[in-house]
Structure 1
């Protein structure tokens, strides 16, 4: 079995490869469109060949400005292969090794996009099982299941309750709030990073991530109560595809008072007032309070995402 990155000469073989199960499909039109934008690249597209036939494909994705791939979007091995997990693991291992040698600071995560209720569908569960085995084999052992949520204009724009006042702030002020709201967070990635890196590094990395997203820094807001007490922050953001909830949180001493609804409403209003037709958000399935806040705001669960990543170090 030969595992290698593609070149321009492989384009027809990459786009012609058939993905025949219901997990994280990337069709030829999307691949070609995003290849043209630099979000897919030949050197981030890997294939497994046997007897000169493509039997596996891995598509890593990044932003147009990315020096290294951010996530694995699509992993598939032909159903004729006896041990699909083994071939998938070989494909992943070869790609991750190459990215590390090229200076990637950490392995890209693996993002599996699934329908709601996926565990009740035997074909989807089977498709997930061998991919999960492959991810674990190559060291992507941190697993998180997330809801992907959507707001569209017919849901309506939430009115302000008047309980919080939102204002701009300096980078130092935002960094301090990132640090404070990480304490007691129910977000699994934040909890893992806190345990390994501590609050200072965790806050800096989270803030740097959102500074690097397509959203505007000018959208960010600090939240205070009407008496001037800091309550949290609201970071409307964006992906290359649509407006996004980004990051939000309430400081520990004010949690349990419903302020998260006000913060989420502020983010929604920010995007809606600028004409957004779709706002997306994500939260861990284990973060029941945040999921409930999205539900109260009218956001609908559009799909489920399983994320596999290397442990924080």
Structure 2
């Protein structure tokens, strides 16, 4: 293999309050570090189902399709100041342009359809960000969403998430999965406000880039 494999440890929410689980994780973390897997990220897994209801957007945004070049530019813009650990890691390792290309290529390779992707704009045509409904081999999922730096803090993340959820729900999705880093508190809060339930916590250990 070109790189050591990822090491995933699956936990339940609130695991830190359980001494036995904390101890079981501690020796696994030591083993991972000894094997050179020194990059550690704690990720939350969320899940939506129809009984939770489809979140309603504010109506402030319009969503349109666009070509790869337009999406690539937005990938680059929303990476600036991102709280996502993998995005930050990519920026540090490859620089903005190459990191954006790698991020976009990843979602192009996912099982979701390319024509699901949307760019979001305000009524006056100002770019807000992107919303990428995607899929795993098992379920539709919230692939990627982000707001350009100058428009963050205005609640647009809720509109992007509502659009992704609606697009999947309209296609009859019975389950939609999503993940975000524990450190990305705004995104985790947005999932919870939209009715998504936390179903799993994962500690992911990997080798440095």
Q: What TM-score, normalized to structure 1?
A: 0.65
Residue 130 of structure 2 corresponds to residue 233 of structure 1:
yes
Aligned partner of 1:26 in structure 2 is none
Aligned partner of 1:176 in structure 2 is 73
Aligned to 2:95, the other structure's residue is in SS state helix
Aligned partner of 2:63 in structure 1 is 166
In structure 2, distance between residues paired with 1:271 and 1:110? 30
Residue 75 of structure 2 corresponds to residue 192 of structure 1:
no
Aligned length: 209
- Highest CA radius of gyration, 1 or 2? 1
Deviation at 1:198, TM superposition (A): 0.9
In structure 1, distance between residues paired with 2:193 and 2:145? 16
Which of 167, 171, 179 is matched with 1:282 structurally? Answer: 179
In structure 1, distance between residues paired with 2:183 and 2:146? 16
Deviations 1:65-110 (A, max 9, x none): xxxxxxxxxxxxxxxxxxxxxxxxxxxxxxxxxxx2xxx3x33221
Aligned partner of 1:139 in structure 2 is 36
If asked which structure has higher relative contact order (CA below 8 Å, sep 6+), I would say 2
Residue 150 of structure 2 corresponds to residue 253 of structure 1:
yes
In structure 1, distance between residues paired with 2:80 and 2:57? 27
Aligned to 2:55, the other structure's residue is in SS state coil
Q: What TM-score, normalized to structure 2?
A: 0.96
Residue 197 of structure 2 corresponds to residue 268 of structure 1:
no
Which of 270, 274, 291 is matched with 2:188 structurally? Answer: 291
Deviation at 1:123, TM superposition (A): 2.6
Aligned partner of 2:27 in structure 1 is 130
Deviation at 1:303, TM superposition (A): 1.2
Deviation at 1:138, TM superposition (A): 1.4
Residue 156 of structure 2 corresponds to residue 156 of structure 1:
no
